[in-house]
Chains A and B, each alone.
Chain A
Amino acid sequence: MKRPRRVRWLWLLAALAAIVAVAFAACDGDDDGDGVVSGDRIQGGELTLATIEGDALDPHFSSFASDISLQRMIWRGLYTLDASNEPQPSMAASLPDISEDGKTYTITLRDGLQWSDGDDLLAEDFVMGILRTCNPDNAGEYQYVLTNIAGCDDHFGNDDGFDEALENLVGVQAIDDTTIEITIAEPQPTFTIILSLWMTFPAPVHLFPNSGDAWPDPGPSAPGQLAFNGPYILTAYTPGDSAVLEPNPNWAAPNGISPTLDKVTLRFIDDEAVSTNAYRTGEVDFTNVDLAQLSAIKSDFEPTGEYVRVLFPGTVGLQMQLTHPVLGDPDTGLDVRLALRRSIDEFTENEVCFDGGRVPTTSWIPEVSGGHPPDAFEDVIGFNPDAARAHLEAAGFPDGEGFPTLSILVRDSPSNICVAEFLQEGFRTILNIETTIEVVDGPTRSARFTAEDFELFPGGWIQDYPDPENWVLGLAETGGSLNNYNCSDPEIDALVEQARFNTNNEERLQQYKQINELIVTRVCGIGVGLHLANDYLIKPFTVGLAENARGLDAVIAGDWIAEAWGVSE
């Protein structure tokens, strides 16, 4: 019996040794790239880009960033935003003629525009795009952006759905084949920007003559049922797998740039850890970074220049329910909120939970979108344990005594949970108050937010279009549709009223800046903490991704000008 037993142990040891060896071999990986190849663009080539699948191909319905990203590759609006967020003519020949009262926009199309299938792209197609967004049966999720177009809200809000009479009242019409006239209810300085957004993209009337006609679902048959006017056409769509794009032969190239690639494949991958692995093996040429591995990725890919970070116009922080008796108390609530905010060390939070992947801030509206620089209100709301304790005492809770146990509601993801645990620890050690953490899934969190059923809620806002009003309207005024934390401040309300339709742009922007200061310093529903950033891995042989990566990206670097993508070898 003795002999075989020894052999057995030997075998086990050998097996274990083998496993350990393999595991260690796996640990000391080196994926040295070949350094940045900054060669010139060549004609042809293919790119495979990892992205998350959206849920619709319909620009007049979509709200997902990945939908919008794809839609900007295959359709284009009257205008398009340039690198400095300014609207430039795209399908339109020039900037709009605006009537003296600021309410009528007359837009002339470029000559000779064509859909990808060869049909003429006419004024009526752009009219149809807007009518589709205003059609209640389509339930477009971004109709709210067109709220100022005359009659759009009336049609969209109609209880009985589509109504031809109401549709006819929507203030958009084709004067002739190349002229569009849009009537808006109030003069709106940002309206040209809106004419660059996906919900105003054209719809091919020759394929969908009525605004209620069913748009193809994201499936294999969709490419054949659609026509495109963007730089690329969709040639294949496999749900859950990929979308394939090829250059649009009828692309008008309004900016003088035409696609050089033969093919772009969007590979749908749900999990950024997976796409990051696929990037390492070269199966994809671009991916968003798995933040859990950020430090490893930085050390591997920062030297090669493949790791790219761009600031993203989004702000997160700790949202607080102001209907809560303690958080929203008219006399002491502000002190409580300041105490909570000032016990959050956003710099350390950024380091431990995001590997330094975000930007600590004290401004709600990012500076690029018309707000203040990140450190503007550091001495009012910035991390300061002594000040935090003093505020709590001023609110009547010396050393946290008698403070209620608040709940922190987070969506289940490693970084969100890290944030919640970080906050909890800060409150406990600095303010001596206990909090509980509720971890729920996405829809539950959203439902609870909508129902205003939360106390503390790490969350924020991602900009839809680059103007400060997008950070205020609906979010900060009393009763605003997205104001679920119930910020209600007479001064803010008064300023919103003044700024909203102010045609004096200079003054308007100044008013939004003032609003930003009020939101921040009064902790009006949100204790501002971090601006967002996108972290990409981009292969060095690509052209036009890293160079064009900026806050305008939806999901993929430079997807706001996808026609500039190419390869250098």
Chain B
Amino acid sequence: MLSLFSDGNNDKAMTGYIIRRVLRMIPLLWAVATVTFFLMHAVEGGPFDREKELPPNVLANLEKKYNVDNPLVEQYGLYLLNLVQGDLGLSFETNREVSTIIREGVEVSAQLGASAFLYAMVFGMTMGVISALNQNRLGDYLGVFFATIGTALPNFIMATFLVIIFSVQLGWFDVLGWELGNYRKMVLPILALGTLPAAYIARVTRASILEVLNQDYIRTARAKGLAERVVVLRHTIKNAMVPILTVAGPIFAFLVTGSFIVERIFAINGVGRHFVTAVFQRDYGVIMGTTIFYAVIIAAANLVVDILYAVADPRIRYR
């Protein structure tokens, strides 16, 4: 399949395709920034509305400091101008660079997200394969049971239960934080974050393998007397990868951009919490920054998936 890349023609087509896709991100980001900017300003309450009201001159001084005393369109223009120069501005809450805030959070969120992704892929695919190869038998029902529980249990409930049972009661794991390499701080967040995607991947894997198993070439492989192991590993799973890959991309992007709930319940200092707290604090700078960051990651993940997709299925061509 990798021969695709040695095909000079398609190689060039691919490069062109990637360039076009990257260029297309520019209007996308502009649109995301614009929509978010005006929606955010349409919300009642501003960044300086506090439990204790600020005196008018303090408010005026703060608005001047953060440039929100100008007409909205002017602020918008200024924001875009800064954005083009790669400047995401300041947090209204802490006065820190938004890009710094995101960078600090992403490191942890990405570690957690990637670990959860690994768990979701390995465990989900294993469950899916077991299910498919034991269709309508015990293994299948176990797999389907897992997939159903995994999708039916919201992660805020699951995370709470995990903490209460395994940390507070049994003392096996820590309640707080995330630390790469420290299993006490890794297992529960990974389970809480990765189980829903794992269940989802299990379903897709099962369906996809069942589909492949019905194909003629599998029947042929079996007919010519190949060992079942070879049939499954060489022919079935490999060919079942395409739909799994398709869902894996967005899941990956979704996981590494952090989860508000999991990060809150485990007091993990990731980027996920900013997506929610920023809105509640009306922290305009962080709302814009996190949205744009998310859009970039999603667009990039989609691009990668589309490319991988072609690698896995040579029938797809780029134009």
Interface residues of A (CB under 8 A from B): 4, 7-8, 11-12, 15, 22-23, 25-26, 29, 31, 55-56, 63, 136-141, 143-144, 156-157, 161, 217-219, 238-241, 267-271, 274-275, 277-278, 280-281, 283-284, 440-450, 481-482, 484
Contact = CB atoms under 8 A, between A and B. Distances in A.
B281 A281 contact: no
A22 B158 CA distance: 13
Contacts of A141: 50, 54, 58
Given A12-B145, A157-B57, A280-B168, A443 B265 contact: no
Given A11-B142, A444-B44, A239 B96 contact: yes
Instruction: Please indicate which of the listed interface residues B51, B142, B264 has the most CB atoms of chain A within 10 Å of its own CB.
Output: B51
B22 interface: no
A63 B62 CA distance: 13
Given A8-B141, A12-B145, A281-B174, A443 B49 contact: yes
A152 B45 CA distance: 29
A268 B43 CA distance: 28
A239 B104 contact: yes
A270 B272 CA distance: 13
Given A144-B55, A277-B163, A277-B175, A446 B264 contact: no
B182 interface: no
Given A269-B267, A443-B280, A156 B57 contact: yes
B44 A448 contact: yes
A283 B94 contact: no
A240 B273 contact: yes
B269 interface: yes
Contact of B45 (A29, A277, A447): A447
Contacts of B62: 139
Contacts of A8: 138, 141
Given A219-B96, A443-B45, A443-B280, A278 B53 contact: no
Interface string B144-188: 010000000000000001011101110100111100000000000
B49 A274 contact: no
A11 B53 contact: no
Contacts of A447: 44-46, 49
Interface string B127-148: 0000000001110011001000
B118 to A, nearest CB: 24
A250 B147 CA distance: 61
Given A270-B273, A278-B176, A29 B53 contact: no
A137 B94 CA distance: 16
A519 to B, nearest CB: 18
Contacts of B177: 241
Interface in B86-113: 93-96, 100-101, 104-105
A283 B164 CA distance: 14
A443 B142 CA distance: 47
Contact of B176 (A4, A217, A274, A450): A274
A10 B282 CA distance: 53
B64 interface: yes
B61 A278 contact: no
B271 to A, nearest CB: 9
Contacts of B45: 441-448
B264 A274 contact: yes
Contact of A443 (B46, B56, B165, B176): B46
Contacts of A275: 267
B165 A217 contact: no
Given A269-B176, A443-B46, A281 B167 contact: yes
A240 B176 contact: no
Given A217-B94, A274-B175, A446-B45, A267 B280 contact: no
A156 B58 CA distance: 8
Contacts of B43: 444
Contacts of A238: 269
Contacts of A280: 168, 175
A126 to B, nearest CB: 22
Nearest to B266: A274
B94 A281 contact: no
B281 A443 contact: yes
Interface string B256-271: 0000000011110100
Nearest to B90: A217
Nearest to A220: B104
B65 interface: yes
A25 B165 contact: yes
A140 B175 contact: no
B52 interface: yes
Contacts of B137: 4
Contact of A481 (B53, B65, B164): B53
A446 B267 contact: no
Nearest to B62: A139
Contact of A482 (B53, B57, B165, B264): B53
B104 A136 contact: no
B175 to A, nearest CB: 4
A484 B54 CA distance: 12
A143 B58 contact: yes
A474 B55 CA distance: 10
A47 to B, nearest CB: 15
B164 A26 contact: yes
A446 B94 CA distance: 19
A26 B167 CA distance: 10
A56 B61 contact: no
Contacts of B104: 239-240
Contact of B49 (A25, A267, A284, A450): A450
B175 A278 contact: yes
A140 B267 CA distance: 30
A175 to B, nearest CB: 30
A219 B98 CA distance: 12
Contacts of A445: 45
Given A56-B95, A161-B61, A26 B165 contact: yes
Contacts of B264: 270-271, 274
Given A11-B138, A267-B267, A269-B267, A481 B55 contact: yes
